[in-house]
């Protein structure tokens, strides 16, 4: 998606559900950011141990594998909420009104169907790894230090399920805009032009400067 996007809010049920889900998405995005930071710390420890003591961190690759689902999936729904995923706007960017909302609804429903299939497949993948009767409840483990793999495999269906909820809300928003002919629907990303995005960023920076001067 080109440019930035804003999401409008009001007191409707849809908007309240949108902001409620946003609080969950922020937590997941925070966990994803912490995972990235943790990998940097682990890399420093591993490289430092190798250079200083000739002893790198045991299971360095194993820990990276465990953190990958956190980094790759947990922030997907938060990004979707603000329309941050890359897509082709060459055609859809020329639409407006009901034609635009119809196209957005169609692509959202197709994406939702794909994500439902991914939830089903990733959950089955987790179930093959998890076993209550096995040590650490795991049927498989990492190669180096034998970390159980089921926690990382569980993160995928959890993150995809949250993304499915986000897509349901966005489909609701686009469908509502299509039926009612709304120009500014709530709970869906409203794409900003380059000028609008620059103005919003300038306003944000100006507000921060005013707060700094007051302090």
Residue 57 lies in a domain: yes
What is the arithmetic mean of pLDDT over 170-179?
96
Contact present, 185 and 103 (Cβ < 8 Å): no
Say if residue 104's pLDDT is above 90: yes
Average pLDDT of the chain, as a whole number: 87
pLDDT tens-digit readout, 1-30: 444 568 888 989 999 999 999 999 999 999
Whether residue 209 is contained in a domain is answered as no
d(CA 48, CA 210): 43
d(Cα 159, Cα 36) in Å, to the nearest integer? 17
Query: Is 205 among the domain residues?
Result: no
214 against 37, higher pLDDT? 37
Percent of residues, the chain, with pLDDT higher than 90: 55
For the chain, how many structural domains are there in total? 1
Residues 6+ apart with CB under 8 A from 138: 129, 130, 131, 148, 149, 150
- How much is the pLDDT for 200? 62
The pLDDT value given to residue 1: 43
More confident residue, 208 or 53: 53
> What letter does residue 9 receive in the DSSP assignment?
-
Q: Which domain holds residue 56?
A: 5-192
Question: pLDDT at position 193, please?
Answer: 58
Q: Is residue 198 part of a domain?
A: no
More confident residue, 91 or 38: 38
Specify if 207 maps to a domain.
Answer: no
Query: For residue 62, what are the contacts with CB-CB under 8 A and spacing of at least 6?
Result: 142, 143, 144, 145, 147
Greater confidence (197 vs 170) lies with: 170
Structure tokens at 188: 């869906």
Least confident stretch, 25-29, 41-45, 117-121: 41-45
- Domain membership of residue 197 (yes or no) is no
pLDDT surpassing 80 at residue 203: no
Tens of pLDDT along 48-102?
A: 888 888 788 888 889 888 889 999 999 999 999 988 887 777 777 788 889 999 9
Whether 54 is covered by a domain: the verdict is: yes
In a domain? residue 132: yes
Alpha-carbon distance 64 to 193, whole Å?
38
Report the pLDDT value the prediction gives residue 195, as an integer from 0 to 100.
63
Say if residue 34's pLDDT is above 80.
yes
Pull the structure tokens for residue 2.
């080109």
């Amino acid at each position: 998606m080109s440019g930035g996007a804003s999401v409008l809010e009001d007191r409707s049920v849809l908007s309240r559900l949108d902001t409620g889900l946003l609080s969950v998405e922020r937590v997941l995005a925070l966990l994803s950011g912490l995972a990235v930071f943790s990998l940097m710390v682990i890399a420093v420890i591993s490289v430092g141990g190798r250079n200083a003591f000739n002893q790198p961190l045991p299971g360095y690759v194993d820990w990276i594998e465990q953190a990958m689902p956190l980094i790759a999936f947990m922030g997907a729904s938060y990004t979707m909420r603000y329309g941050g995923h890359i897509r082709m706007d060459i055609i859809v960017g020329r639409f407006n009104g009901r034609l635009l909302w119809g196209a957005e609804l169609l692509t959202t429903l197709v994406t939702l169907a794909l994500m439902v299939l991914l939830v089903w497949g990733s959950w089955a993948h987790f179930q093959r790894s998890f076993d209550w009767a096995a040590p650490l409840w795991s049927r498989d483990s990492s190669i180096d230090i034998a970390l159980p793999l089921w926690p990382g495999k569980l993160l995928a269906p959890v993150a995809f399920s949250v993304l499915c909820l986000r897509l349901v809300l966005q489909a609701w928003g686009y469908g509502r805009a299509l039926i009612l002919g709304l120009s500014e629907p709530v709970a869906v990303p409203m794409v900003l032009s380059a000028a609008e995005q620059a103005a919003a960023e300038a306003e944000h920076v100006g507000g921060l400067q005013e707060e700094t001067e007051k302090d």
